[in-house]
Amino acid sequence: MTTAQDLLRDAGLRRTEARIRVLGLVRDLGHPLTHAELTAREELADLDAITLYRTLATLEDAGLVHRVLGVDGAWRTCAQPEGSGGCPGNHAHFQCTGCGRMRCLVNQPMPRVVPPQGATIQSRHFVAVGRCAACAALADAAPLDVAPLEVKDRP
């Protein structure tokens, strides 16, 4: 597996400590993360929010990470799959409505989209929404936390 330092060098970027740590963490975790989730990570605790934001933007511009918009309105960043050729989110994603976690579905085909006459498509985003296996199991096992309906007699 190629190291974060190698990827930065191959992309023509300076190998700063912040870039190495952020790219390494995003690659190690292997699923899309929000800016808030990244700032909460112990490994990046000493990076201020602006440095993290700029680092993510630089990595995205270089094609080392991609962003995808979740159904909750939060952008998530994920490392490009190795050997992907730098697709800008050009694969499907799955987001759990229970825990909010998102996963890349790299081997899933994207829906075919035909642009209007003369237009070109630069990227595509597709997010399937549902419950992950863990949240589905919890939902099936948990008792309903709903008070029974009161039925009143009609006059």
The H-or-E segment that residue 26 falls in is: helix 17-29
Tokens 């808030």 belong to 36
Handedness of CA 73, 128, 83, 115 (dihedral sign): negative
- What order do you get walking across the sheet with 126-130 strand by strand? 102-105, 92-96, 126-130
Q: What is the mean pLDDT of each run of 10 residues along the chain (155 residues)?
A: 89 94 92 92 92 95 89 88 56 87 82 89 83 86 52 45
> Model confidence over 36-45: pLDDT tens digits?
999 999 999 9
> Model confidence over 10-48: pLDDT tens digits?
999 999 999 999 999 999 988 899 999 999 999 999 999
Q: What is the pLDDT of residue 144?
A: 52
Cβ–Cβ under 8 Å, residues 98 and 141:
no
Q: Taking the domain 4-112+122-140, which CATH number applies? A: 1.10.10.10
Name the residue ranges covered by the structural domains of the chain. Answer: 4-112+122-140
pTM of the model: 0.72
116-124: Cβ within 8 A, 24+ apart: 122/88, 123/87, 123/88, 123/89, 123/90, 124/89, 124/90
